[in-house]
Amino acid sequence: MSTTTVETSAAVSEAGPAPAPGRIQRRGDKSLAGSLASHGLLVLASLIALFPIVWLVFLSLGPDTDDYLHPGGIWKKMTLDNYAFVLQHTEFFSWLKSSLIVSLGTTVIGVLIAATTGYAVSRMRFPGYRKFMWVLLVTQMFPVAVLMVPMYQMLSDLQLIDSYLGLVLVYCTTAVPYCAWLLKGYFDTIPFEIDEAGRVDGLTPFGTFARLILPLAKPGLAVAAFYSFLTAFGEVAFASTFMLSDTKYTFAVGLQSFVSEHDAQRNLMAATAVLIAIPVSVFFYLVQKNLVTGLTAGGTKG
């Protein structure tokens, strides 16, 4: 052992053990203040988002029509009478049946058409395929007031006025263009080699689409289904124009029955709105596993 090594070791022993290195902050790590600030903003945003829902539920517990003017008095007289009245003395279950038929019909037909359209444009290079997608986008630029009269005339000629099928077809004209663009972007992220493998195994183009591509596109299909369902469930203008029978009103149109020329029964409207949110919440729960993935997956191709 050299003299230099002995002297260095002795110097280290006399100086004592080296201090432990502090925590190295890596790129992307947030400080305590930054973490608290971000969490505080998230909590605030959550409260802002939840406040209208909580407020609606609170108003639905007030028995009087003018309780919304004096909400502080609801605490002393909370009741479920509004919900009992809506369920027993209105056409609530007829509205529920109509809304589910129209919404689920729009979801099934709309997603099927949008999926086949998006897949065809994503995989096949037929003449005018780019212009076709832009034509779908242009159809979304027309306001409802412009489309109402020609659609009514077409449904009348087809004898589909006051029918569920007619309203489903009308809602598909709104849901299909957006969902086709959405699913086209999602299909672009699925490797083309999967289609080639399907053809090697003897599958037809439709067989490849149904057996190989659709199972991989569940997140995108979930987003398209959720959008189609909400489009049909909450729409008012078309439903109030094309559905003439009281028993065929959807929820959105049925809510209008609580608004008269001289009085608006806001307590009953609030209770009905809370009940209306239940089917939407159930549908969201069924698709929420794939919803976030589908919303982000179609944004980039890779």
Give 136-150 pLDDT, tens digit per residue: 888 888 888 888 889
pLDDT for position 36: 86
pLDDT of residue 1: 46
Closest CA to 240 of 135, 170, 143: 170
Rounded to the nearest 5 degrees, what angle is found at the Cα of 226, between the Cα atoms of 274 and 121?
160
pTM equals: 0.77
Residue 142, phi-psi category: left (phi > 0), alpha (psi -120 to 50), beta (remainder): beta
pLDDT on residue 248:
87
CB of 217 within 8 A of CB of 190? Answer: yes
The residues with which 264 forms a beta bridge, in sequence order, are 259
User: Residue 293 and residue 302: Cα distance in Å, rounded?
Assistant: 15
**Residue 98: both structure tokens together:** 């109509």
Per the CB < 8 A criterion, the answer to whether 102 and 167 are in contact is yes
Residue-level pLDDT at 12? 47
- Main-chain phi, psi angles of 259, to 5 degrees: -115, 115
Q: Give me the pLDDT at residue 295, please.
A: 55
Count CA atoms closer than 13 A to 74's CA, side-chain side: 23
Cβ burial, residue 157 (10 Å; 0-12/13-18/19+): exposed
Secondary structure (H, E, C), the chain: CCHHHHHHHHHHHHHCCCCCCCCCCCCCCCCHHHHHHHHHHHHHHHHHHHHHHHHHHHHHCCCCCCHHHCHHHHHHHCCCHHHHHHHHHCCHHHHHHHHHHHHHHHHHHHHHHHHHHHHHHHHCCCCCHHHHHHHHHHHHHCCHHHHHHHHHHHHHHCCCCCCHHHHHHHHHHHHHHHHHHHHHHHHHCCCCHHHHHHHHCCCCHHHHHHHHHHHHCHHHHHHHHHHHHHHHHCCCHHHHHHCCCHHHCCHHHHHHHHECCCCECHHHHHHHHHHHHHHHHHHHHHHHHHHHHHHHHCCCCC
Report pLDDT digits (tens) over 191-231.
Answer: 888 888 888 888 888 888 888 898 888 888 988 998 999 88
pLDDT value for 299: 45
Residue appearing with tokens 């009953």: 268
pLDDT < 70: residue spans in the chain: 1-30, 260-263, 290-302
Predicted confidence at residue 18, as pLDDT, reads: 54
